[in-house]
Amino acid sequence: MSLPVHLVPSLDGVALGDSVTVEGDEAHHAVAVRRLRVGESVTLTDGAGAAVTGEVAGTGKRVFTVTVTVRTDDPEPAPRVTVVQALPKGERGELAVEVLTEIGAARIVPWAASRSVAIWKGERAEKSLAKWRSTAREAAKQARRAHFPEVSPMASTAEVAALVAGAAGSVTVVLHEEGAQRLGDVALPATTQEIIVVVGPEGGLAPDEIATFEQAGAITVRLGAEVLRTSTAGVAAVSALLSRTPRWS
């Protein structure tokens, strides 16, 4: 059984035999909610590739310490996966972030598509972004990831197009039920450094958005005969693409 994972700010300079102290909300959840006890083994990660495993040496109300027995430093999985997710309504945004994190996305970009039902403005935008980031953090711990995903600030269509155009060594696909090409036919060269998947909103992609992304270098593709919800289309597409890379093959 995999050990529970907790996030710490840094593991710089931590070596075998060292003691690492975890404080604040992360420690409170472990001690008060999970009932972490002295002698149990846990894994700590900085979310940037470094992880240590060890035994809990002591606990307090909002603190616990771990004596390190194992340290690993993992490179970021390649190719990187970025998902541009149009804002869904309700809690479907958090669902999309959760499953995309579990499957290994390195970056999730909230996108204000022209037909998005949800609108992020002012305080709502701040709260929604914070919720997406919290969801990604918890999902990354659940998935035992050493590299936690980045959830970027909300992007406009122009900003997404600039991201696509500026991504060297990338392959970008835009999901659309009327795409002329099938996802399975998209070429993924061995030199691909990044895969970018653009997922539209419940109301569908506007023609001008498709044209803008294609001009930036994206390929518009269809998954199959079925039309998926915006909250699940991304994970389906990323799964299909990852199965053709060294990450999954």
- Same domain? For 48 and 123 the reply is no
d(CA 59, CA 23): 10
What confidence score (pLDDT) does residue 76 get? Answer: 96
14 has pLDDT over 90:
yes
User: What percent of the chain lies above the pLDDT cut of 90?
Assistant: 89
What confidence score (pLDDT) does residue 249 get? Answer: 83
Last residue within a domain, chosen from 58, 73, 88: 73
pTM: predicted TM-score of the whole model, two decimal places: 0.93
Residue 158 is assigned to a structural domain of this protein: yes
- Same domain? For 139 and 233 the reply is yes
- Same domain? For 23 and 85 the reply is no
Last residue within a domain, chosen from 73, 89, 124: 73
What confidence score (pLDDT) does residue 226 get? Answer: 85
- Same domain? For 131 and 36 the reply is no
- Same domain? For 109 and 22 the reply is no
- Same domain? For 195 and 144 the reply is yes
What confidence score (pLDDT) does residue 21 get? Answer: 96
- Same domain? For 194 and 131 the reply is yes
d(CA 244, CA 185): 11
108 has pLDDT over 90:
yes
Residue 248 is assigned to a structural domain of this protein: no
What confidence score (pLDDT) does residue 51 get? Answer: 97
Closest residue by Cα to residue 214 from 169, 168, 180, 188: 180
CATH code, 117: 3.40.1280.10
- Same domain? For 19 and 123 the reply is no
Q: How does residue 196 score in pLDDT terms, banded at 50, 70 and 90? A: very high
Cα-flanking dihedrals φ and ψ of residue 123, to 5°? -65, -35
Edge to edge, the sheet with strand 170-175 lists: 150-151, 107-111, 80-86, 194-199, 170-175, 219-222, 181-182
What confidence score (pLDDT) does residue 1 get? Answer: 60
What confidence score (pLDDT) does residue 2 get? Answer: 82
Owning domain of residue 67: 5-73
Residue 94 is assigned to a structural domain of this protein: yes
Last residue within a domain, chosen from 45, 73, 101: 73
Token pair 């959840």 is found at 29
- Same domain? For 59 and 122 the reply is no
Residue 43 is assigned to a structural domain of this protein: yes
Residue 40 is assigned to a structural domain of this protein: yes
Residue 60 is assigned to a structural domain of this protein: yes
Residue 247 is assigned to a structural domain of this protein: no
Closest residue by Cα to residue 110 from 143, 134, 88, 137: 88
- Same domain? For 148 and 218 the reply is yes
- Same domain? For 174 and 195 the reply is yes
Q: What is the mean pLDDT of the chain?
A: 95
The total number of structural domains that make up the chain: 2
The string of pLDDT tens digits covering residues 112-160 is 999 998 889 999 999 999 999 999 999 999 999 999 999 999 999 999 9
The string of pLDDT tens digits covering residues 49-104 is 999 999 999 999 899 999 999 999 999 999 999 999 999 988 999 999 999 999 99
- Same domain? For 91 and 196 the reply is yes
Residue 249 is assigned to a structural domain of this protein: no
User: What percent of the chain lies above the pLDDT cut of 70?
Assistant: 100
173 has pLDDT over 80:
yes
CATH code, 11: 2.40.240.20
What confidence score (pLDDT) does residue 175 get? Answer: 97
How much is the average pLDDT of 206-217?
Answer: 97
